[in-house]
Structure 1
Amino acid sequence: MNPNVGGIDRVLRIVAGLGLLAWATVGGGPVWAWVGIVPLATGALGWCPAYLPLGINTCKMKKA
């Protein structure tokens, strides 16, 4: 599992995920706001399974 999410992409995913989860829990947001778990997890792991079939790689890290 090589990282394919890097830099700004990771930060934006984590911020968006935390924002959605905060909205779902504290702000009484809609049930779909729990989808914030997905960007939070992909940002924290640095790997997004949806990027594989699309051939996207925002990580500047060299593959081993």
Structure 2
Amino acid sequence: MMTNLGDLDRIFRALLGIVLLAAPFVSGLAIFNGTATTIISVVVGLLMLGTSVRKFCPLYRIFGIRTCKL
């Protein structure tokens, strides 16, 4: 598996993943009162962190996008 995420993209994804994981539990926003929105936020947060750690995004591969230097 080749890398297709650059450093800036990985940092952004990691920060977004942490925010999405923490938001339902610490924000107190009314949108997270429902179970569905909490689950969606946690799943998307985990996906963002996972792609950041693996340095690979399957959607980038499908669309032929690379943000890393060759």
| TM-score computed with the length of structure 2 as normaliser | 0.77
The runs of 5 or more residues in structure 1 that have no matched partner are none
Tell me the residue number matched to 2:48: 39
Q: 2:68 aligns with which of 39, 59, 63?
A: 59
* Cα RMSD for the two superposed structures: 1.4
Q: How many residues align?
A: 61
Q: Which has the larger radius of gyration?
A: 2
After superposing on structure 2, the runs of 4+ consecutive aligned residues of structure 1 that deviate more than 2 Å are 24-30
2:67 alignment partner AA: T
Q: TM-score, normalised by structure 1?
A: 0.83
| Identical amino acids, percent of aligned pairs | 39
- As a proportion of its length, which structure holds more helix? 2
Gaps of 5+ in 2: none
